[in-house]
């Protein structure tokens, strides 16, 4: 399997499809690069180089005990980009991956980056605080940790329903898509999965967003039950200078799958713009 080795010795698995301007994808928790396969196929089929990695602890990458934090996630992304010598990149991040992209820009700048797309992304901060009253209470994330530490297999099966909006009346989300979510989730090491809950809920990315100086597109569903839009894209898109926010009415958190054709068309339009 193609991997790169980070400075702490972790092996990071990656996919590298097609040729052209590179589009680099960062996945959400608790998934892996396979969650982007439809988009990788789409952009690689349209003249771009599609790259996606498994975050440490997830999928085929090393299940490290330490390093499950946003700075290290961003540095791992930088290691992949530098090892493949990618330039003029379009970064695409979903959910926690959107936080990873944001922290990457905050730590490493945009010298190699042309554009960014943040989808159902966690920035600026998911946790409810005095300064962030629209966030979610800590009890929500404690519940997620309890699910991971308990019967995580059943927890992931249950989580797939709100993730894709399959718990909404009239939903057409297939059992296959929900089983795919479970399969990828079960490939995450329990330590990486548990630690990542704190990462995606408590990492404040406000200052990182202020460092964006590239065209940036936010895409978010207004029925996202995992990362509610009110404390995420509604705020983040105002922090990033000249950012564009595209709201999917009734859109779920996993809209890259549930509204694949619409999302792929919007992504390609932004790549070509």
Is 153 annotated in the active site? no
Catalytic residue among 26, 62, 95, 201, which?
Answer: 95
* pLDDT score of 118: 99
- Distance between CA 129 and CA 132 in Å, rounded? 5
* pLDDT score of 210: 98
* pLDDT score of 265: 98
* pLDDT score of 35: 98
* pLDDT score of 264: 98
* pLDDT score of 199: 98
With vertex at residue 266, the alpha carbon angle to CA 116 and CA 132, rounded to the nearest 5 degrees, is 50
* pLDDT score of 148: 98
Catalytic residue among 75, 76, 224, 237, which?
Answer: 224
H/E segment holding residue 12: strand 11-17
CATH homologous superfamily of 3-272 equals Alpha/Beta hydrolase fold, catalytic domain (3.40.50.1820)
* pLDDT score of 98: 98
Point out the residues of the chain with pLDDT beneath 50: none
* Exposure on the CB side of residue 84, measured as CA atoms within 13 A: 29
Is 224 annotated in the active site? yes
């Amino acid at each position: 399997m193609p991997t790169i080795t980070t400075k702490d010795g972790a092996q990071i698995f990656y996919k590298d499809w097609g040729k052209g301007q590179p589009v680099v994808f960062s996945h959400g928790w608790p998934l892996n690069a396979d969650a982007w396969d439809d988009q990788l196929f789409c952009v690689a089929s349209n003249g771009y180089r599609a790259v996606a990695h498994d975050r440490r602890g997830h999928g085929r990458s090393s299940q490290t005990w330490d390093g499950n934090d946003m700075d290290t996630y961003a540095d791992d992304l930088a290691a992949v980009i530098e090892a493949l010598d990618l330039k003029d990149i379009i970064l695409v991040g979903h959910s926690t991956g959107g936080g990873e992209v944001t922290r990457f820009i905050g730590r490493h700048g945009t010298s190699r980056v042309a554009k960014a797309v943040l989808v159902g992304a966690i920035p600026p901060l998911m946790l409810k605080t005095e300064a962030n009253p629209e966030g979610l209470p800590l009890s929500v994330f404690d519940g997620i940790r309890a699910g991971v530490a308990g019967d995580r297999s059943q927890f992931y099966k249950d989580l797939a329903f709100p993730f894709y909006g399959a718990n909404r009346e009239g939903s057409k989300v297939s059992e296959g898509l929900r089983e795919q979510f479970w399969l990828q989730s079960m490939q995450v090491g329990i330590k990486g999965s548990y630690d990542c809950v704190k990462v995606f809920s408590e990492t404040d990315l406000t200052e990182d967003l202020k460092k964006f100086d590239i065209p940036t597109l936010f895409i978010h569903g207004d029925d996202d039950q995992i990362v509610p839009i009110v404390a995420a894209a509604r705020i983040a898109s105002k922090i990033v200078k000249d950012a564009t926010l595209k709201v999917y009415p009734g859109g779920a958190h996993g809209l890259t799958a549930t509204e694949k054709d619409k999302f792929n068309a919007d992504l390609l339009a932004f790549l070509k713009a």
